[in-house]
Copies of this chain bind each other. A is one copy, B any other.
Amino acid sequence: MKCRKCGGRAVLELRRHNTALCGPDFVGFFRRHVLETVRRWRMFTRDEPVLVAVSGGKDSLALWDVLHDAGYRTIGLYLDLGIFDYSRASKARCEGFAAERGLELRVVAVADEAGAPIPAVRDATRRPTCSACGLSKRYLMNRAALDAGFPVVATGHNLDDEAATLFGSTLRWDESALARQTPVLEATHPKLVRRVKPLFRMSERETAAYAFVRGIDYIVEECPFARGATSIAHKEVLNRLEDTSPGSKAMFLQGFLERARGLFQARETVTLAECVRCGQVTTGEVCAFCKLRDQVTRATRPSRPAPAAEAHPLDLPGTRGLIADLHAASEIHAP
């Protein structure tokens, strides 16, 4: 198979683009696509410093690589979830990446902020792990960016991630989730920073190939808590459709963004306030992260004769509706 551009040996066939490219030409292709996405979707300008949320996986490190190479001012943010060896290994990859390039990496540990690492948060809240983790990550990303004066956080979500999320939301016709599905979540409140996904048009296979060709040392393992996740089943469905009809994933996501999202967005109304406890944005009085932290505090305190539940100073009435709040918290970026 020959590179369509230079005639050299192709390393990757891109069926949906009906082309095949050698390593260097693929790197150029990938970068052009990502930077064009940044410009066309007005994700950030040359003047804006970008906080890149990195997990140690191929997507976020590929994103950081592209942005740094293109001359954007970037700092990495690693959120240490405290998920045993998985977190240790992924943190090492981020540190290695930053050190090699002389880039700054900031590390925030969920355990310091939520009171316990993700495995203990899961036990304390008895909620799906990915939900508590997602809430914590969105909260901490936003706060880290605000504290450091960054107007924008970029994440490594790729086409497969976005199409799978859309697929799940569509199967449930979850109007709020559909209204929020966009590669650019604007800052609709002074306490929110813009959240952007410059890789949303690149497939998982393409980001993996980019990371490989660029020699990026990334963590290959998936998070141990992701096993059996619905999003993985949905990715498999979409992969089968893509096999039969190359381009269907992109068509599904792009068609939604162009023709349907506006309908759901127009119906969505969210009133934002500041959390009376931490000052971050919430749709209620106390934000979902503060409630989560309360739950963790209660669950991890050494056992002793418990006072009557209603007398506990942290047992605010609102904490009982945590599921609804976690849901609302993921909406706070809805325009």
Chain A residues with a Cβ under 8 A of chain B: 170-173, 175, 233, 237, 240-241, 244, 248, 251-252, 255-256, 258-260, 263-264, 267
Chain B residue with Cβ nearest A255: B173
Distance of A62 from chain B, by nearest CB (Å): 27
* Closest chain B residue to A249, Cβ basis: B171
* Nearest 7 pairs of A and B residues by beta carbon: A173-B255, A263-B263, A173-B259, A173-B260, A171-B252, A173-B256, A237-B237
Given the complex, which residues of B lie within 8 Å of A240, measured CB to CB?
237
Contacting residue for A170 out of B170, B233, B263, CB 8 A: B170
Which listed residue (B172, B252, B258) contacts A251, Cβ 8 A? Answer: B172
Specify which chain B residues have a CB less than 8 angstroms from the CB of A173 in the assembled complex: 252, 255-256, 258-260
Q: How far is B249's CA from A172's CA once the two chains are assembled, in angstroms? A: 10
Tell me if A241 and B248 are in contact (CB < 8 A). Answer: no
Q: When chains A and B are docked, how far (Å) is the Cα of A263 from the Cα of B237?
A: 27
Residues of B within 8 A of A170 (CB): 170, 252
Cβ–Cβ < 8 Å partners of A267 in chain B: 263
User: Which residues of the partner chain B approach A248 to less than 8 Å between Cβ atoms?
Assistant: 171
The reply to whether A233 and B237 form a contact with Cβ atoms under 8 Å apart is no
Query: A263 contacts which chain B residues (CB < 8 A)?
Result: 263-264, 267
| Of B237, B241, B251, B259, the contact of A175 (CB 8 Å cutoff) | B259
